[in-house]
Chains A and B, each alone.
Chain A
Amino acid sequence: DTEVTQTPKHLVMGMTNKKSLKCEQHMGHRAMYWYKQKAKKPPELMFVYSYEKLSINESVPSRFSPECPNSSLLNLHLHALQPEDSALYLCASSQVSFDKNTGELFFGEGSRLTVL
């Protein structure tokens, strides 16, 4: 199993809603990542979890709250988002911890978020 699975594939939410994006991998990878990608732009790193602990937070607003319940799961909780937060949210994993990672990431298909 070499997949990173993300749900839902599409999400539409209002600015007062609370929703969550989910990510799962069963490759035994020890680091998991959230990236945000706007149209025609590169993926931008948001969070890194290494051995289930938050290792990197790239100054992401608190309306985005990550959670890593176990080594296979990564969630992104969304609350009080703004329309400009509409984007493709990509989850990725890597085989070793982030500080030993040579960079190869395994990405999911992404969750397309629209904030109305």
Chain B
Amino acid sequence: DQQVKQNSPSLSVQEGRISILNCDYTNSMFDYFLWYKKYPAEGPTFLISISSIKDKNEDGRFTVFLNKSAKHLSLHIVPSQPGDSAVYFCAASDTNAGKSTFGDGTTLTVKP
């Protein structure tokens, strides 16, 4: 039973356009959500997060939206840059249990 799902294994966008990465979850105990970015041969790096009490969090070109009723979150990158090309993991945390569960990842390719 996969509790965090990223249904799109890959996404390709043109430089300057918006990238939208999606993530769905099933466990209603999750109360904190994060996006990590991973380049080849490196560990994941934290990108942006959102608490379940919010529906939007913005940090520069990155915005995360949370729809609790739909158990869905998305990461918007605008404008997209070639350096954004990486694997993006969605993660959901049950802060009481202290565990993060990761999605399968979406490979984003931003074309110049």
Q: Do A103 and B41 form a contact, CB below 8 Å, given A48-B98, A55-B98?
A: no
Count of chain A residues with Cβ under 8 Å from any Cβ of B?
29
**B89 on the A face (CB < 8 A):** yes
User: Interface of chain B, helix or strand or loop or mixed?
Assistant: strand
Given A42-B102, A43-B102, A45-B99, also A103-B43 (CB < 8 A):
no
Q: In whole Å, how far is B23's beta carbon from the nearest beta carbon of chain A?
A: 11
B32 CB-CB contact with A under 8 Å = yes
Instruction: Looking at the assembled complex, report how far the CB atom of A31 sits from the nearest CB atom of chain B, in whole angstroms.
Output: 8
CB nearest neighbor in A for B91: A103
In the bound complex, do residue A109 and residue B41 qualify as a contact, i.e. CB atoms below 8 Å apart? Answer: yes
Chain A-chain B contacts (Cβ-Cβ < 8 Å), number: 72
Q: What total of chain B residues lie within 8 Å of the partner, measured CB to CB?
A: 28
- Contact B42 A101, beta carbon cutoff 8 Å: no
Neighbouring A residues of B33 by C-beta, 8 Å = 103
A-chain residues with CB within 8 Å of residue B41 when the two chains form the complex: 109
Chain B neighbourhood of A48, CB < 8 A:
98-99
Asked if residues A109 and B32 are in contact (CB atoms below 8 Å), the reply is no
CB of A43 within 8 A of CB of B95, answer no
